[in-house]
Structure 1
């Protein structure tokens, strides 16, 4: 295995040397375009070059470097394949990458921050002297991936296929491998920050005492989850369905919940503060003894909900007349 890695690195260096020579000839042509679709690049240099709108493209033995976050891989970019290449000084944040294949590639002095990477694959790839922070990997494959001199902090891997070699390396870092480890974080009252969740199902989980901060839940399903004494602060929920939630004494603050539904749940003794609900439906919710402070409700409705002994202050209602109505 060690010999194979040495041979691979030698081949990669030779390819990149050849790439830099040919790249000089191609660089001026590449700079003129920023939209690529179903295109194959071989032995080309992308240095401060815009690769913003790229889909279904192949980068073979290329050198990608010094491209800022605004000019590289818009969230509409998908199904791109990077093979036998070098990525250097690339810093991506707050984006979603779908169906990316990164194979036999070295990633140097780069970073991923608050990224969502879905339905992708990393094989024989090395993250060297880099940072992976607050990033969610979903339904993604990792085979023989290494992280020399790389820091991983609050990286979450959900429904991922990870080989033993890579998993052993990851376990030495601050990562969450699967939903069970997410539950373990909750027992430690961990604070998870700046994570993007998209189209993920959280089902039958004990997340009591967990803290989600500056987190987004888009198109998610949260079903039969206990969130007693949990804290949701500065979060955004969009088109997310919550059902059978046990949220006794949950604390929700400075958040926005839009186009979502919450059903058959217990939110007793909860604290809700500085939060906005838009086009949200509450069905069969126990809000007894809860505290509502500086809340905006827009086009939202409450069906068969209980509001016994609640405390309210500075409530703004817009087309949400069913708030605090007695349960029939």
Structure 2
């Protein structure tokens, strides 16, 4: 059986933890200072080692940036330079820690970082995905800064390719920031991948005009335009028989930049218009025909009293042409 008196005496004799013992704190600090005094050469060596790695990291980072910038790939140089710099800094930090604490096993530390990196990877999955996509875009280089691209309904000029996103400037002066994962996993139309690209425009020619003569006039007009690349050839094709005209599709080549494409298109349309007017070739307007079936002129538009189209009543008036025939018959009979 437990003796409560003995337990109370033992509790009274035990030192209390709430009371602050100055001697214990002094002993602890003295122990730290003694350990530092014994290991100060290790601290000096670790500091010098880390400083050397720090200088080496910045130097190699600058070398990578400048070498790739000389090859017109400054964006890739910035990313790889930063990657090299921080990798060397981390490596130097690990070596410095092993110098200060020789009992520290770098393998165990790396293994611990590996386990932690899994949790960090899940937490920052989107950021890492964009970073890797940006690195692949910079390495494979499907497009460059200054190219005009179309990504997921966004069209514009590439301003920069960073580790997180690609920035494009639209033709009306807006900036769009597109995550690199979106750029990498979607179709990208690089409109300036080649020096020239083809444009087209449809022209309507009247059915009563000479089609071959009209095509010759259009070809000469387009060929005379200053910004049209005649080396690729000009196509003037009979394309469609529309309701009011014969459609002629005109194709030409020009520089692939947006401003060149717009300027050349305006120049071509203007040249075609003046050339066809001078040749007397008609470009007809669209014609709309509206049919009102069997409505009488006496009561047009009265739904309840029309013979056909909308249902009428029992006493529906006849069309004018039938009235005229009956009147002529009655007139002949009376004569």
Question: Which range, TM-score by smaller chain?
Answer: under 0.3
Larger strand percent? 1
Which of structures 1 and 2 has the bigger CA Rg?
2
Higher helix proportion, which one? 2
Instruction: Name the TM-score, length of structure 2 as normaliser.
Output: 0.21
